[in-house]
A and B are shown apart, each in its own frame.
Chain A
Amino acid sequence: MRSARDVVSLFNMIFSGSEASLTRASPGRASAGRKSVACAVLLVLSLSLAGCSKPRPVEFRLNTEGRDPASISPAQREAIVSMLTDLFGTPDEPRVPPGVHLDVELLRRAAGPTGRDFSGVERGLYRKHCAVCHGISGDGAGPIAAMLNPYPRDFRYGIFKYTSTVLGAKPTRQDLERTIRRGIPGTGMPSFAPLPDEDIQALIEYVKYLSIRGETELYLLRLVVDENELLPLNKESVIDEAVLPVAEAWEMPEKDPEHWVVKPQRPHLDEAQLKAAIERGRLIYQEPRSQCVKCHGPEGRGDGEQTDLYDDWNKPKKGVTDEQTRELSRWFSLPLQQLKPRNFQEGIFHGGGRPEDIYLRIYVGIKGTPMPAMGPAPGQPGILTPEEIWDLTFYVLSLARKTDPKK
């Protein structure tokens, strides 16, 4: 109360332009009052200074993962950053490069600072819901990323783990939507199901935007830094060579779902048939051709002989010796993180626990990880038929329902 009164009197003093308000303070409290006044002056000064200085602009961070930032010359950095800004705008003002099919209105809802506009539409959705883990640049290195295992996805490499697409293709819109709505059980990724549909659509669009921007950035780094291309860069060429191929890759599954997308058709089984399917699945699981045991162990506890496993985001940090690993890890935002094969008996499945989810994980694999695609695809017979994959799915789910005597 007292200090509040002092601040009020200080305001009186400043804005009345006289010392009258000060002299009104009771003599007994003069010394304490003076101290408080000094504090208040400092407070007001610091507040006013904060108000006067420009807020630090929110910027995309250049992707220097895996390289010494000093190896990029100022001219090269400037060329890459200005090209990316020209093509994709800023975190506050996103832009869509020509020929790329992204909905700029949706992007604007997701981008920028959090808040509502005059019509009451919520904006800044990405910063509100995602950036704390995935970072402003979609680099998967937000403020709390280092505390999470597995790390949040780095969108800039264009690889997404849980998809329904074959041959390493990009996820469909539905794949990203499933991950956002249902979250990733057993990880830091929560379910955003309570959000209005429009918000979720805006976030999907923004994730695609960050990913296309990120892959363009990788191309520019290869061209400008590794290849030492002559500067200045030509915008049209960058669009032709870097942006459009990535944007086209995102459209492939939507344009030709027959070729790229697996649609699980779950068989309807009665109890006896299900039992038989689980038994067939058990045999497939143990067979050397499926290789399941190697990583997931003979009983699906995730304790196979293969332990030295890393995903594509961590592999570049891994050297042969510990010293090499330390040396390599210096140039990454987050320390090396090992990958643990799923323990089926825990019953927690990152890509979802419905039979269709397990089926897709086995069929198309988990991209960016050692989990390979087992199902047939154009140009590949695959290692298992769709029927065999269903059997394996039911077996994996049957393990999840067992109680683990060790726990």
Chain B
Amino acid sequence: MRNELRQTRSKGVHPGGQFISRSRHRREFLKRLAALGTLLSVPRPLVSSTLLGEGAGQLGELTGRFIYVGTPPERKKLKVDKDVDCCGKYDIRDESLMVGPDGGLANVYVYLRSRGVPIPPGLAEKFPKRVTLDNRDCIFKPHCLAIWYTVQEFYIVNSDPIAQNVAFTPLGDLPANIILAPAPGERTDATWRFHRSQTEPVHIVCNYHPWESAYILPRDNPYFAISESDGTFHIPYLPPGEWEFQLWQERVRQFELPGYPRGRFTVTIKPGLNDLGTIRVSPGSLGVT
């Protein structure tokens, strides 16, 4: 545990904004590569091109699909009693349980729980520079977000013609309470920097419109996914090895399923596709009675 815990911090970002101990991180990575018995003597530029270029097959991808068993309950209409002129015209409903037409369960977080898993150099370029939260039609879009905070920027924007507020308090990190001007116009956007990885998603609220709700998971690695509207999820670029993952759903948080105690599971990632297949979710496991 000691080494693993320490490595996580070595990949952190200094609160002032600069990366710390990147060399240490790289050293750890190279050490891991040696342990895998690959490419130790290869110069660094070649390592990255090998891993993410023609040799990308050496990395693994974890996939699966969540299927809700049965008919989901009707999504409750939320009380919209503020800025009614603007927001009253939208059909705003509870988003805590989103099931697609073919039973796919959306918005389930799947993320790496093991610490110190190496990140291949050059991976940052494969990811979008920013993760965007839009205030649109009087709700947050998307409802669930995750961010590789040491690489990606959290961009918050307002597309509504009313002022919006975005507030969240990550554990052990700085609290945010941001106000955005009505769109279109100036001062409708902001960026936010996280300083610490979180072990579960952080709730985002709007103090003006109590029905608005979203989640963001800041992590110091890119190994996370949120299930899509068809219930599928994909975590690419995973180094081979035995890693532990966490499932999380906003209704029940650590998402307990048969075979997934406390929402956790361990998989031996092999190069190429690692498919968990269909994961059937009973209403009871989501607190639906």
Give A residues with C-beta under 8 Å from B.
158-159, 167-169, 215, 218-219, 222-223, 226-230, 234, 236-237, 240-242, 245-246, 248-249, 252, 255-256, 259, 288-291, 294, 305-306, 308-309, 312, 365, 367-374, 379-383
> A158–B82 Cα gap in the complex (Å)?
31
Of the four ranges (under 10, 10 to 19, 20 to 34, 35 or more), the interface on chain B belongs to 35 or more
- Given A168-B174, A230-B1, A241-B8, A288:B163 Cβ within 8 A: yes
A240, B189: Cβ atoms closer than 8 Å: no
> A294–B195 Cα gap in the complex (Å)?
32
> A361–B31 Cα gap in the complex (Å)?
50
When C-beta atoms are compared, the residue in chain A nearest to B86 turns out to be: A288
> A167–B16 Cα gap in the complex (Å)?
12
- Given A241-B8, A365-B177, A383-B187, A289:B2 Cβ within 8 A: no
Contact of B5 among A222, A240, A289 (CB under 8 A): A240
> A175–B168 Cα gap in the complex (Å)?
23
Contact of B82 among A226, A306, A312 (CB under 8 A): A306
Contact of B174 among A167, A222, A371 (CB under 8 A): A167
Contacting residues, chain B, for A226 (C-beta < 8 A) = 199-200, 254
B175, A383: Cβ atoms closer than 8 Å: no
Contact of B199 among A169, A215, A227 (CB under 8 A): A227
Contacting residues, chain B, for A289 (C-beta < 8 A) = 163, 181-182, 187
Distance in Å: Cβ of B18 to nearest Cβ of chain A? 11
Contacting residues, chain B, for A227 (C-beta < 8 A) = 199
Count of inter-chain pairs, beta carbons less than 8 A: 122
Please name the 9 residue pairs, one residue from A and one from B, whose CB atoms are nearest each other, closest first: A237-B5, A168-B174, A370-B207, A379-B191, A380-B190, A372-B179, A168-B175, A372-B177, A234-B2
B187, A381: Cβ atoms closer than 8 Å: yes
Interface centre among A169, A223, A291 (most CB of B within 10 A): A291
When C-beta atoms are compared, the residue in chain A nearest to B185 turns out to be: A289
B195, A245: Cβ atoms closer than 8 Å: yes
Interface residues of B in 250-264 (CB under 8 A from A): 254, 262
Task: Judge whether B193 is part of the interface by a CB distance below 8 angstroms.
Answer: yes
Given A236-B2, A249-B15, A367-B177; 17 other pairs, CB 8 A cutoff: A159-B169, A218-B171, A223-B199, A226-B199, A234-B2, A237-B1, A240-B5, A241-B8, A245-B195, A256-B16, A294-B208, A306-B208, A367-B175, A372-B165, A372-B179, A372-B207, A379-B190
Distance in Å: Cβ of A384 to nearest Cβ of chain B? 8
A241, B208: Cβ atoms closer than 8 Å: no
Contacting residues, chain A, for B169 (C-beta < 8 A) = 159, 312, 368
When C-beta atoms are compared, the residue in chain A nearest to B170 turns out to be: A168
B189, A381: Cβ atoms closer than 8 Å: yes
> A158–B165 Cα gap in the complex (Å)?
22
Task: Judge whether B276 is part of the interface by a CB distance below 8 angstroms.
Answer: no
Distance in Å: Cβ of A87 to nearest Cβ of chain B? 15
Contacting residues, chain B, for A383 (C-beta < 8 A) = 163, 179-181, 187
Interface residues of B in 175-205 (CB under 8 A from A): 175-182, 186-187, 189-193, 195-196, 199-200
Distance in Å: Cβ of B180 to nearest Cβ of chain A? 7
Distance in Å: Cβ of B28 to nearest Cβ of chain A? 14
B15, A252: Cβ atoms closer than 8 Å: yes
B172, A246: Cβ atoms closer than 8 Å: yes
When C-beta atoms are compared, the residue in chain A nearest to B161 turns out to be: A288
> A219–B187 Cα gap in the complex (Å)?
35
Question: B147-177: contact bitstring with A at CB < 8 Å (1 yes, 0 no)?
Answer: 0000000000000001101010101111111
- Given A242-B172, A382-B187, A291:B179 Cβ within 8 A: yes
B16, A372: Cβ atoms closer than 8 Å: no
